[in-house]
Amino acid sequence: SAVISQKPSRDICQRGTSLTIQCQVDSQVTMMFWYRQQPGQSLTLIATANQGSEATYESGFVIDKFPISRPNLTFSTLTVSNLSPEDSSIYLCSVESGGGGYTFGSGTRLTVV
């Protein structure tokens, strides 16, 4: 099954700044997914990143706030821009793994102060 390396694992950021999260997969994948998990909550899909095209955002998420890059079939970045305390969450990337299931990166715990 696919193995995802996600970094950073955690960060503390000032209001108004941005954080870029990276995910590297050990195999080529068509789609990569970015999720947010707010404290004590479930996972919510932010966007789907396809190589060579614009990311597709879910309702409530916009490109200006969550720009995504997908330069090749093994890598993607999610930037969380203009940070506010409400952005404090865990952000996870996900890809389809062997056998049809979906595996997650280890997550990035973001705290905005």
Partner 1 sequence: GENVEQHPSTLSVQEGDSAVIKCTYSDSASNYFPWYKQELGKRPQLIIDIRSNVGEKKDQRIAVTLNKTAKHFSLHITETQPEDSAVYFCAAGAGGTSYGKLTFGQGTILTVHP
Q: What residues line the site for partner 1 (CB under 8 A)? A: 31, 33, 41-45, 48, 58-59, 92, 94, 96-97, 100-107
Of the chain, the end-to-end C-alpha distance in Å amounts to: 37
Nearest approach in angstroms of CB 111 to partner 1 is 14
Toward partner 1, which CB reaches closer, 85 or 98?
Answer: 98
- Shortest approach of partner 1 to residue 15 CB, angstroms? 25
> 69 or 97: whose CB is closer to partner 1?
97
Query: Six-digit token pair at 51?
Result: 């190589």
- For the bound state, the minimum distance from the C-beta of residue 40 to partner 1, rounded and expressed in Å, comes to 9
Ranges assigned E (strand) in the chain: 4-7, 10-13, 19-25, 31-37, 43-50, 56-57, 68-72, 75-80, 89-96, 102-104, 108-112
